[in-house]
Amino acid sequence: MAATAALGAAGAVAAGDGRSYVSGGFAPGHVEPDTWTYSTCGFCGTGCGIEIGTKDGVPVAIRGTKGYPVNDGLLCAKGIYQWKIITAPDRGKRPLIRKDGKMVPATWDEALTAMTDKLKQLLADYGPESIACYNTGQLCMEEFYTLGKLMRAGFRTPNLDGNTRTCMASAVMGHTRSFGTDGPVGAYADIEAAEVILIAGSNMAECHPILFGRVVKAVEKGARLICVDPRLTQVSRIATINLPIRPGTDVVLLNAMAHVIIREGLIDRAYIDAHTTGYPELEQHLRKYTPQYAAGICGVPAEDIEAAALLYGRAERSLSMWVMGINQSVNGTIANNCFHNLNLIQGKIGKPGCASFSITGQPAAMASREVGGSSSYPGYRAIGNAQHRAEIAALWGVDPATLPDKSPSITEIIDAILEGRIKALWVICTNPLMSLPDQNRVRQALEKLELLVVQDAFETVDTAQYAHIFLPAALWAEKSGIMVNSERRLNLLKPAVKPPGEARTDFEIFLDVADRMGFGHLFPYRTTEECFEEIKRVTRGRPNDYSGATYARIEASKGLQWPIPDERSPGTPRLYADGRFNTPDGRAVLWAVDPIELPEVPDGEYPFNLNSGRVQEHYHTGTKTRKVPELNALVPTAYVELNPRDAEALGVQYGDRVCIESRRGQIEAKVVVTSQVAPGSCFVPMHFGEGPVNRLTVWAVDPFSKEPNYKQQAVRLRRV
C-alpha cells in the first residue's frame, strides 16, 4: 500500500515495491549510543539478533547483530524502529484498579491483594475451573514455564491458553499427527540449500521480511519458487510458478501435487517403507486427485498444478514453507499434514534443503509450546497423557491427580464465560478484544466476568477498557530470558533499560501472585537463569532437550538450535535426520485426508470472500507499532483491497470509504483498488481498532487444533 521510509542504512535488499531490509543502519536522526546490549528482536518468529543502543540509560537506537545466523545484521522496518516503542507515552507505569466505574492508580500491594483475594474467593466458591488465563507468544521461556506451573500446579485449572492458539495451533497439531510431537523440522539454512522452494499461504515479504530477503537471494542464485496464495503478493512476483488458488482449497491442491509425484514415480519407496506408515491408504486415496479434478476446485489450470508438482518432485532438494494462510482455517491441521505427506513420500525430511517448514508468527511462540505455556506440559508432554502427567508431577513434586488432564481452547474459554462457568480471566500481553474472531461475542464475554485482570506494557490496550485490574508489565528490552524462533534457535534477552515507573517483569508478577496465593513452595527459583536450570531438568531426554545450553553459551554461540543434549552438542539444525520419529513405532504417519467444508462461503446475500492479515509496518493489533510515528504514517488506517472489476461494479474509487458487513457486524474502511486480489475477494489488514476486521470474522475453528478460521468469511460491501 505504501513504501517504507528510507531508513538510512547501507546494503538494503529491496523487496520490489520500495520496502527494504536494513543492514547495519539506524533510523534517521538517531542519537549515538554510549552502550550496546545483546538481545533478540521482539517482533515476529524470525528471531533476528539485535543490539539495543542506549545513551545515559535511555534507548536511542537498534541495529542488527552482524554475524548472527538468522539475519546477519539485517532488520526490517519494525525491527529498526522498535526502540521507540519502549518510550511510548502510554506505557503502563503503575497498577490501576476500577473504582466507581473508573480506573484509578493503586499500589502493587493493593492491586495484587484485590486480585488474589478475588481468586481465592472464586476457588472456594466455584473451584479451579472458574478461573482462566489467556497469554501470548511474546514472553520469554522462563515466564511461560512459570506461568504454566502456576496455573496447572498452583491453581490446578485446565483453563490456560495463549494467542498462539490463533496462529500456530494447526502447525502444532500437524507436527504431532505426522511426526509424533510438535517441533519445526528444518532450518533457515535450508532456504539457501534448496533447489525448489514452495511458499504457501504466506506473504513472507510483509510478514517475515528478513526470511524473504534470503528467499530473494536464493532465487537470484538459481532456486526456483512456487507461490500458492489467492492474493498476488511480492512473493508471487518472483515466482517461477504462481498458483492463485481459490480461498480454502489448499488441501485439494496439495493432494493433487502428491498424486502427480506418485504417478510419475518420484517417490522414495525405500524411505517410505522404512520410515512411514499409511502409504497404501494414501496412494489409494489420492487416485481421484488428478490435476484436472483439482483445477475445477482450486480455480487454477491443471497444467500449472502438474508443472508445480513436477518441479517440486524432480528436484533433489525441495523446501515447503507456510504460515497463517494455511493454519488459520478449518482445514489448517490437515493442510499441514498434506505438506508433510508431500515431503515424506519423497524422503525430503531431515536433509539440507529439504523440509516441511511452518514459520512461526511471534518471537517466543515456540518457547510457549515447548515449556507448557498454553496447551501442553513442559517438554512436549501431552495434557491428556497420564504417563506424561505423572512425569511432570514427579518433577514438580505434586500429586498427579491434581494436574489437569484437559486444556480448553480460547474459543471454548469464551463460550464458558458466556455460559457462566468461568468467572475470572487473566489476560497477559495480548489483546483478545481485537484479535479473537467475532468481536461482539468476545465483548459480551469480557463484560460478564467478575474479574478481568489485564497485564500489559500499555495501559491503553483495547481489552483493558473492560479490566477490573491493570498490571503494568515490562517489555522485552527490560528483562532477561530466552526466546525461541521458528528454527528452534534459543537466543538471549538481556535488559538494556529499566521498566518505566513501577512496571515489573512478567516473571516477577507471576512469582508475587504465587506467593500471595500460597503456591510459593512450587517456585524454588527467583531469577530467570535459576528457572532455566529447572527447565533443563524438566526437558532432559525430551524432544526439546536443552541440557547443554546455558545463558553464556547461548550468547557466545549466537543462538543454539534444540535439541542440545549436552555441553558438547553444537545444537541440531534439522530434526529426524536418522528417519526415526517421535511416534510409538518410530515411523511418521501419512494421512489420507479430504478437505473439510468451509463454515461460510460467498452467496447472493454476502457475495465477497474476506481475507485478513498483516502489513509489514504493523504487528498484530497495532498495540506496539502504532506507537511509532514513522511506521504509523505509512499505513495509518484500515483499508480494504478490491479488484478493479469489483470497484467499478460498486461505483467506488481509490480513497472512497465503504462499509464491509458480515453476518456478525460491520466496519468502515478506505478503498484501495488493486489487482492483488481476485474478483469476488477482498483483503483487510488486522491492525486497526477503528476498523477492526475481527468484528466480521466467523466463530468457527479447526476440529483438531481449535484454531480459528480467520481466512474465509462471506461479506458484502457498499459505498458510504
Supply the DSSP string of 468-521, one letter for each residue.
Answer: SEEEEB--GGG--EEEE-TT-EEEEE---SPPSTT-B-HHHHHHHHHHHHT-GG
State the residue for C-alpha cell 540509560: 57
Q: How many CB atoms lie within 10 A of CB 284?
A: 10
E strand or H helix at 54: strand 49-55
pLDDT recorded at residue 31: 85
Complete DSSP assignment for 99-134: ETTEEEE--HHHHHHHHHHHHHHHHHHH-GGGEEEE
pLDDT recorded at residue 9: 32
Question: Can you say whether the dihedral through the CA atoms of 532, 537, 538, 540 is positive or negative?
Answer: positive
E strand or H helix at 453: strand 451-456
pLDDT recorded at residue 18: 40
Reduced to 3 states, what is the DSSP secondary structure of residue 302?
Answer: helix
pLDDT recorded at residue 686: 95
Q: What distance in Å separates the CA atoms of residue 437 and residue 14, rounded to the nearest whole number?
A: 34
Q: What distance in Å separates the CA atoms of residue 326 and residue 168, rounded to the nearest whole number?
A: 10
> What's the fold here for domain 185-358?
Dimethylsulfoxide Reductase; domain 2 (3.40.228)
Beta strand ranges found along 195-286 (DSSP E): 196-200, 224-228, 241-243, 276-277
Q: What distance in Å separates the CA atoms of residue 262 and residue 314, rounded to the nearest whole number?
A: 11
Contact of 350 with 265, CB cutoff 8 Å: no
Q: What distance in Å separates the CA atoms of residue 125 and residue 362, rounded to the nearest whole number?
A: 37
Reduced to 3 states, what is the DSSP secondary structure of residue 465?
Answer: helix
Mean pLDDT for back-to-back runs of 10 residues, the chain (720 residues): 30 40 56 95 97 96 97 96 96 98 98 99 99 98 99 99 97 98 98 99 96 98 98 97 98 99 99 99 99 99 99 99 98 99 99 97 96 97 98 99 98 99 99 98 99 98 98 98 98 98 99 99 98 99 98 98 98 98 98 98 98 94 94 94 98 98 98 98 96 97 98 97
Contact of 195 with 223, CB cutoff 8 Å: yes
Question: Residue 583: CB partners within 8 Å, gap ≥ 6?
Answer: 179, 180, 589
Contact of 46 with 65, CB cutoff 8 Å: no
CATH of 10-86, one of 3.20.20.10, 2.60.120.1270, 3.30.200.210, 3.20.20.70: 3.30.200.210
pLDDT recorded at residue 28: 58
**How do the domains of the chain map onto residue ranges?**
10-86, 96-158+365-380+389-475+500-550, 185-358, 608-719
CA dihedral 475, 506, 455, 124 (to 10 degrees): 180
Angle between helices 528-539 and 386-396 (to 10 degrees): 140
CA dihedral 65, 68, 73, 76 (to 10 degrees): -100
Contact of 313 with 264, CB cutoff 8 Å: yes
User: What is the CATH number that goes with domain 96-158+365-380+389-475+500-550?
Assistant: 3.40.50.740
pTM (whole model) above 0.75: yes
Are both 185-358 and 608-719 of the same fold?
no
C-alpha cell at 93: 507505569
Reduced to 3 states, what is the DSSP secondary structure of residue 425?
Answer: strand
Beta-bridged to residue 281, according to DSSP, are none
> What's the fold here for domain 608-719?
Barwin-like endoglucanases (2.40.40)
Name the amino acid, one letter, at 289: Y
pLDDT recorded at residue 20: 46
Reduced to 3 states, what is the DSSP secondary structure of residue 671?
Answer: strand
Name the amino acid, one letter, at 420: G
